[in-house]
Amino acid sequence: MEKLALQGGNKAVQSSQNKFEEQTRWPQMGKDELNSINTLFEDANITTHPVIRDLENAYSERIGSKYALAHHSGTSALMAAFWALDLEPGDQILVPTGTFWASAIPMMWHGLIPVFCEIEESAFGLDLAAVQKKWNPNVKAIVIVPLWGIPGNYGAILEFAKENKLLVIEDASHAHGAMYKNQPVGSFGDISVFSLQGFKLAPAGEGGILLTDKIEYFHKAVLFGDIYRIMELDTPDRRFAATSFGIKTRIAPVSAAIGLNSLKKLDKTNAVREANCERLSEALSTYGFACYGDSTDWHRTYFEFVVRLQSNSVNILSADEWVTALTSEGCDVSRPRYPLLHEQPFFTEGAFKKVLRIEESKCPKYEPGGFEKTRNLNDQLIKFPCFTTNDNDVLEEYIEAIHKVGTSQKEVKAFFTKEKMTY
Ligand SMILES: Cc1ncc(COP(=O)(O)O)c(C=O)c1O
């Protein structure tokens, strides 16, 4: 066995940083995107160009939703979604503590209270037991997030939502192209949202899409932020056309044009990511990592490739030790980046009250600590890069690095012990 890089041996990854960046390049902007932007200039329309409708129609068609409204970000689409549901200030919404903040905080601008719940290890979805425990009669809705692209536990949570008559907001920002029981992710919410931000699977630069089958929700989202569409309404809501509700969320056509191109290529780009992540998964699963490949119920996408170190007999190293050893072999690996939301200063210091603006007596208290399940889960996670091209010699070097560390775990452990490196 080759000497570990930790002990002064050669790194398994010998390729240059440039080559790594080429093979993990994202987003992949090219001639198609340039041509689509050129059209906007030729048409001399960079604000209301019909490409926005084209983007919306393409999402409606692909997801099978009756209505789509493009926004300038996923966050603004979520703001519109929480507003459109017509809930009352003080109503509560169940939401995972392990997600990006935009799944939760936008609701607070409408006086809605996030009730944080644990996530679970089988698919990073909401934990059913936690959700059952947190339910109370003031809970009116639930946010589901297919984290990293995995819609694994949709079934149980959607069943729970149905039983308890909860509205469902699906924050599908990580999961363009994923399916649950042969139905597209993005079609499970009363309102569903995709972020089209530049790192996402169908990037637009900045953008978001709101999808729904219910015309009332669509109209409310229009009232929230799309002044041109208010003028088009053939309902009494049209009377608000002169003022709107004071917020503007429409996407820019440049973003819409890029987003439309990305959506057209989505299946191809997803397939490359998937094949590459599966190659890494093969190597990683040898050493006891859960890699979250597809199951019979769901097809995932690889927005980010996050794996979990399961504690079992083949595993000697901790997640941190794996990260240090792989980093020394030249791999770009890290711990995933979502801290538990409920214990961030915005919540624990009460800063959220400036946004929530409901009676003090109704304001929730968010305490740090607790949520051991999600915390333990986070401690076991490692993020690998997604390789995005078919030229994957750097990927092969990563696989070599995984085997090098995996087959030398005892030596790596001994090295850390000798060096008194503790994690
Ligand atoms: C789960 C999730 N929801 C919502 C958003 C917000 O999207 P945007 O950045 O387009 O506002 C993000 C962005 O990273 C996200 O990861």
Q: How confident is the model at residue 336 (pLDDT cuts 50, 70, 90)?
A: confident
Tell me: do 11 and 159 sit in the same domain: no
Q: How far is the CA of 202 from the centre of ligand 1 (A)?
A: 13
Tell me: do 160 and 179 sit in the same domain: yes
Tell me: do 275 and 261 sit in the same domain: no
Domain count, the chain: 2
Instruction: Report cis status (omega within 30 of 0) of the bond before 27.
Output: yes
Query: For residue 228, which of 236, 216, 240 has the smallest C-alpha distance?
Result: 240
Residue found by looking up tokens 């809930």 in the block = 87
DSSP strands (E only) in 202-276 = 208-212
- CB–CB of 408/333 below 8 Å? no
Tell me: do 129 and 22 sit in the same domain: no
Quick one: which atom of ligand 1 is closest to the CA of 197? Answer: 10
Tell me: do 246 and 288 sit in the same domain: no
Q: How far is the CA of 400 from the centre of ligand 1 (A)?
A: 33
Q: Where are the alpha helices (DSSP H) in 112-177?
A: 128-134, 154-163
Decide if 397 is inside a domain. Answer: yes
> What global pTM score does this model have?
0.97
Decide if 368 is inside a domain. Answer: no
Q: How many CA atoms lie within 13 A of 298 on its CB side?
A: 19
Q: What CATH number is associated with residue 389? A: 3.90.1150.10
Decide if 177 is inside a domain. Answer: yes
Q: How far is the CA of 270 from the centre of ligand 1 (A)?
A: 19
Going by CA atoms, what residue is nearest to atom 16 of ligand 1?
100
DSSP strands (E only) in 291-407 = 298-299, 305-309, 381-384
Q: Is 328 a residue whose pLDDT tops 90?
A: yes
Domain that holds residue 18: 5-26+267-337+376-422
Residues 130-189 have pLDDT tens digits of 999 999 999 999 999 999 999 999 999 999 999 999 999 999 999 999 999 999 999 999
d(CA 164, CA 109): 25
Both tokens assigned to 276: 């590459």
Residues 393-407 have pLDDT tens digits of 999 999 999 999 999
Decide if 321 is inside a domain. Answer: yes
- CB–CB of 244/220 below 8 Å? no
Decide if 358 is inside a domain. Answer: no
d(CA 31, CA 142): 41
| Cβ 192 under 6 angstroms from ligand 1 | no
Quick one: which atom of ligand 1 is closest to the CA of 206? Answer: 10
- CB–CB of 196/255 below 8 Å? yes
**Which of 72, 78, 100, 147 to mutate for ligand 1's pocket (most ligand atoms within 8 Å of CB)?**
100
Tell me: do 289 and 245 sit in the same domain: no
Decide if 360 is inside a domain. Answer: no
| Cβ 145 under 6 angstroms from ligand 1 | yes
| Cβ 103 under 6 angstroms from ligand 1 | yes
Decide if 120 is inside a domain. Answer: yes
Q: How confident is the model at residue 423 (pLDDT cuts 50, 70, 90)?
A: low
Q: What's the confidence (pLDDT) of residue 422? A: 60
Q: Is 42 a residue whose pLDDT tops 60?
A: yes
Select from 211, 246, 265 the last residue of a domain.
265
Tell me: do 82 and 167 sit in the same domain: yes
Q: How many CA atoms lie within 13 A of 242 on its CB side?
A: 1
Q: What angle do CA 70, 220, 247 make, to 5 degrees?
A: 65
Select from 223, 243, 265 the last residue of a domain.
265
Select from 218, 243, 265 the last residue of a domain.
265
Tell me: do 52 and 197 sit in the same domain: yes
Both tokens assigned to 260: 């439309």
Residue 219 pairs in a beta bridge with: none
Tell me: do 61 and 125 sit in the same domain: yes
Decide if 353 is inside a domain. Answer: no
Q: What CATH number is associated with residue 205? A: 3.40.640.10
Q: Is 89 a residue whose pLDDT tops 80?
A: yes
H or E, element range at 395: helix 393-406
Tell me: do 388 and 272 sit in the same domain: yes
Share of the chain above pLDDT 90, in %: 95
Q: Is 314 a residue whose pLDDT tops 80?
A: no
DSSP strands (E only) in 97-207 = 113-117, 139-144, 167-171, 179-180, 183-184, 191-195
Tell me: do 111 and 162 sit in the same domain: yes
Quick one: which atom of ligand 1 is closest to the CA of 75? Answer: 11
Tell me: do 308 and 381 sit in the same domain: yes
